[in-house]
Amino acid sequence: FRKGCIMYSEAGKRATMKYQKNNLDTITFRVPKGKREEYRNYAESIGLPLSTFIIKSIEEKMEKDNTNQ
C-alpha cells in the first residue's frame, strides 16, 4: 500500500473500468529516453499531472491555430 494509493473494492474497480470503456479513449505514443521524466517534471513544476499538461498543450495549440485561420 503506497502513499496516496486508495484501496478500491472489486465493485469500484468494475465501475471505474466501465466508465473508462464508455467515456474515454486511450492514446499511446513514444518519446526519446529521458524525455518522459523531463516532461513529467515540468508538468509537476506547474502543478499538473503529465496527462493533463499534454491535453492542455494540444488544446491550446489547436485553439491558437483555429484563431489564426
Q: What pLDDT, on the 0 to 100 scale, is given for residue 24?
A: 96
| Higher-scoring residue by pLDDT: 69, 63 | 63
Residue 46 CB contacts under 8 Å (≥ 6 apart), including other chains:
53
Q: What pLDDT, on the 0 to 100 scale, is given for residue 5?
A: 66
pLDDT by residue (tens digit) across 23-60?
A: 999 999 999 999 999 999 999 999 999 999 999 999 99
C-alpha cell at 61: 495549440
CB 43 within 8 A of CB 49: yes
